[in-house]
DNA sequence: TACTAACCTGTACG
DNA sequence: ACGTACAGGTTAG
């Protein structure tokens, strides 16, 4: 079992998995679906405005997971540089929309757009004598006008967001159900959605749908694989096609093991930090 | 099937 | 001030 004291909040929040967090006077405040989370950075006490969930995945056997991950030397180094980095268990709908918004964008833009979406379409609540806007419901985004969505800075993704929200709102896309499905089946479902490709599907599955074998391959991860895994996991060609993505993913699972998603998170964090890339 | 251009926004740089 | 480069994944051709 993970002890909360082993979690490094700063590393965890600044690792590209969440966007709606801000630090104010020793406290981290974050939006997760229909609630606000507040975490004391020093003793990691969690206060929440809504239902409690295991947001920090404390029920994971992190000792066992880390032991498995450390079989790989590069990951072992990445772990030593980021002790306490953890995967989070996010609200599925927020995660689904967030990573659709993330496509072909960067962390600063994603954060800005998601904040605007919350402000325009989310419920306003007071928590800790501060004002917050919860993540919009699928219904509110499904009904949103194009103009309003564009005002949030979505650009051509406005169409993606609206259609994706509609699919959830009318029940055709059942995110809860995807949690119970296999990796392959859940992925097939997500890929139906306009605006969701391989990378975004893997992010949604890893961060909110209990698929620890998901290994999102973005430009950074491709860079990492070429740099450290040239011999074990060679990538043919310059770009990554659908077919290559799938065959590579299978090889990744057999190399990194069933918790490959955790490996990905450590590697991603390490490499972006090495290039001094900005987080939240 | 495989490759490539187009897509929108915000920021940084000259 | 004004253009140009760049960060990013998915879709459509």
Report, as an integer, the average pLDDT of A236-243: 84
Asked whether the predicted pLDDT for residue A2 surpasses 60, the reply is: no
Q: Note whether A175 and A215 are within 8 A (CB).
A: no
Spanning CA of A161 to C1' of B14, the rounded length in angstroms is 36
The pLDDT of residue A128 is: 86
The residue that minimises its CA distance to C1' of B7 is A156
H/E stretch holding A124: strand A124-127
The pLDDT of residue A52 is: 75
The angle at the Cα of A225, spanning A231 to A255, to the nearest 5 degrees, equals 65
Distance of alpha carbon A177 from alpha carbon A93, whole angstroms: 12
pTM (two decimals): 0.96
Spanning CA of A198 to C1' of C9, the rounded length in angstroms is 9
Report, as an integer, the average pLDDT of A110-138: 96
Report how far apart, in Å, the C-alpha atoms of A225 and of each of A42, A76, A103, A114, A218 are. 35, 15, 20, 30, 11
Spanning CA of A239 to C1' of B2, the rounded length in angstroms is 10
Spanning CA of A160 to C1' of C4, the rounded length in angstroms is 29
Listed by range, residues with Cβ under 7 angstroms from strand C are A 102-107, 109, 193-201, 218-220, 277
Nucleotide nearest to A203 (CA to C1'): C9
Asked whether the predicted pLDDT for residue A3 surpasses 60, the reply is: no
Q: Name which residue leads in pLDDT, A235 or A97.
A: A97
Percentage of chain A exceeding pLDDT 90 = 85
The residue that minimises its CA distance to C1' of B4 is A239
Nucleotide nearest to A202 (CA to C1'): C9
The pLDDT of residue A5 is: 59
Nucleotide nearest to A160 (CA to C1'): C10
Judged by average pLDDT, the poorest of A23-27, A215-219, A255-259 is A23-27
Strand B close to A41 by CB, under 7 A:
no
Asked whether the predicted pLDDT for residue A1 surpasses 60, the reply is: no
The pLDDT of residue A50 is: 73
Spanning CA of A272 to C1' of B13, the rounded length in angstroms is 21
Q: Note whether A4 and A56 are within 8 A (CB).
A: yes
Report, as an integer, the average pLDDT of A82-89: 95
Nucleotide nearest to A104 (CA to C1'): C8
Residue closest to A91 by CA, chosen among A40, A38, A17: A17
H/E stretch holding A127: strand A124-127
Report, as an integer, the average pLDDT of A173-190: 97
Asked whether the predicted pLDDT for residue A16 surpasses 80, the reply is: yes
Question: Model confidence over A47-82: pLDDT tens digits?
Answer: 777 777 789 999 999 999 999 999 999 999 999 999
- Where exactly are the structural domains of chain A? 4-60
Strand B close to A195 by CB, under 7 A:
no
Spanning CA of A46 to C1' of C5, the rounded length in angstroms is 43
Report, as an integer, the average pLDDT of A143-156: 96
The pLDDT of residue A43 is: 60
Write down the H helix ranges in chain A.
Answer: 9-13, 62-69, 73-81, 92-102, 107-121, 138-142, 146-151, 157-169, 175-180, 183-191, 198-208, 219-228, 242-256, 260-274
């Amino acid at each position: 079992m993970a002890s909360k004291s082993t979690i490094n909040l700063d590393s965890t929040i600044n690792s590209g998995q969440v966007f709606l967090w801000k630090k104010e006077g020793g406290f981290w405040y974050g939006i997760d679906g229909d609630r606000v989370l507040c975490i004391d950075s020093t003793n990691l006490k969690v206060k929440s405005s809504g239902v409690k969930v295991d947001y920090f995945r404390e029920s994971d056997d992190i000792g066992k997971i880390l032991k498995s991950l450390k079989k790989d030397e590069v990951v072992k180094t990445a772990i030593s540089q980021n002790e306490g980095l953890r995967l989070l268990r996010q609200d599925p709908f927020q995660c689904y929309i967030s990573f659709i918004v993330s496509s072909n964008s960067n962390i600063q833009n994603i954060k800005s757009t998601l904040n605007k979406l919350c402000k325009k379409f989310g419920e306003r609540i007071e928590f800790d004598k501060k004002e917050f806007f919860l993540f919009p419901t699928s219904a509110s985004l499904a009904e949103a006008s194009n103009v309003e969505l564009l005002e949030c800075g979505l650009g051509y993704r406005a169409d993606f967001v609206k259609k994706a929200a509609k699919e959830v709102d009318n029940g055709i896309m059942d995110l809860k159900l995807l949690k119970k499905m296999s990796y392959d089946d859940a992925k097939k479902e997500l890929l139906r959605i306009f605006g969701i490709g391989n990378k975004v599907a893997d992010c949604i599955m890893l961060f909110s749908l209990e698929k620890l074998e998901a290994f999102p391959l973005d430009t950074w991860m491709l860079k990492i694989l070429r740099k450290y895994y040239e011999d074990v996991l060679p990538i043919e060609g310059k770009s990554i096609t659908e077919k290559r993505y799938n065959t590579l993913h299978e090889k990744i699972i057999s190399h990194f093991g069933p918790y490959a998603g955790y490996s990905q998170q450590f590697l991603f964090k390490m490499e972006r930090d090495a290039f001094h890339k900005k987080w939240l």
